[in-house]
Amino acid sequence: MQPQIPDNIRQLADKWIKGTITAAERNILLEWYAQQTPAEITWDSADADESEMEERLFAALQHKLSPRLQPVKGHLRKRLMQAAAVLLLIAAGWAGIHKWQQSNMVIVSADGGIKKMILPDSSIVWLKGNSSLSYHASFGKKDRQVELKGEGLFEIKKDAAHPFIVESGQYTTQVLGTSFNIKEQTPHNSFSLLVLTGKVQVVKKNNKDNTAPLLITPDYEFISNNRQSTVNKASNTERAQSVNGTEYDMNFNRTAFPDIIKRVEHKFDVKFTGNYQSFEACRITADITDQSLSNSLKLLTMAINAEYQINNGTIMITGSGCK
């Protein structure tokens, strides 16, 4: 039976394969093999390429891990051959896991403009510029975690049982339900987080000092670069820029109901159907920014004395019209 391989040993094996392992790490790897390698290792496949790879790994182990012991014979040779076989198993397993992870990832790119995407939990993200967002195909079932490269405006659906986590640059951002804009620039090692509504928790990934996460409140911006990290009050201009070109702003002031319908359709990718002549004269003043589709429809129909039904993305509104 193949021994249980700790995560740190897998990482060291990966480094060895890439040729980036240090002398100290090499010793740790050898020591683990000396203690954990079984008396016999059975290789299930008869593929000649795998045997050839094992011989190559043995030669590399002999050269890289024990350069002073030449030639290698007897018991030590057997140990190194066993180590090479285990390393091959690790490499194969590692590659398989990586391939599986890649095949189960959803990746969306903005390709220079602004691209809106609605996640499986109904949260909305507007990607900007040459940005991309990736998440696992099982998103929303056990957790809600995404990785952002570049810049994106997030409008997160509230779900207390499943915090929404964004991995971006050197930082991890976590929320329950709120809206915010993240911008990271890898070449410049810069990161900014502007909170529009709710509260957002941010912490550095490599938090060696165990620094407590920062809690950023609405209209404040967290900025970090190679020199320093600051939290400042965001200006109206910065706030406007963060939502520019998106459908985030849904603040209406005596707006005609047909115009509101178009805005709701574009933002949530839904379609209204039916005859709305009785509502054409309705003027609505309401701020439904950062509201879910269902909450938005409840507020709007209450304002015009109506009811609504949703069926597969199609919305029907019925009622006598606004009074």
183 and 97 in a single domain? The answer is no
Same domain, 55 and 121: no
256 found inside a domain: yes
Do 232 and 278 share a structural domain? no
Structure confidence at residue 234 as a pLDDT band (50, 70, 90) = very high
* Percentage of the residues of the chain whose pLDDT score is greater than 70: 74
Looking at the structure, tell me whether residues 112 and 177 fall in a common domain.
Answer: yes
Q: Which of 103, 119, 147 is the last residue of a domain?
A: 103
Residue where one domain finishes, among candidates 243, 270, 297: 243
Q: Is there a contact between 202 and 213 (Cβ–Cβ < 8 Å)?
A: yes
Where helices occur in the chain by DSSP H, the ranges are 7-18, 23-36, 48-64, 74-103, 236-243, 257-268, 293-303
Q: What is d(CA 248, CA 290) in angstroms, rounded to the nearest whole number?
A: 7
Same domain, 120 and 216: yes
pLDDT at 43 over 50: no
What pTM did the predictor assign?
A: 0.68
Question: Domain boundary at 243, 268, 298, which?
Answer: 243
Task: Give pLDDT tens digits for 185-204.
Answer: 877 789 999 999 999 999 99
Residues 206 and 257 in one domain: no
Residue 19 located in a structural domain: yes
Confirm whether 153 is domain-assigned.
Answer: yes
Asked whether residue 12 falls in the same domain as residue 98, the answer is yes
- Integer CA distances (angstroms), 170 to 122, 181, 207, in order: 26, 16, 10
**pLDDT tens digit sequence for 55-93:** 555 555 555 444 444 444 455 555 555 555 555 555 555
**Domain extent for 187:** 106-243
Number of domains, the chain? 3
Q: 217 and 279 share a domain?
A: no
- pLDDT(2) > 50: no
Collapsing DSSP states into helix, strand and coil, what is residue 236?
helix
One domain, residues 237 and 123: yes
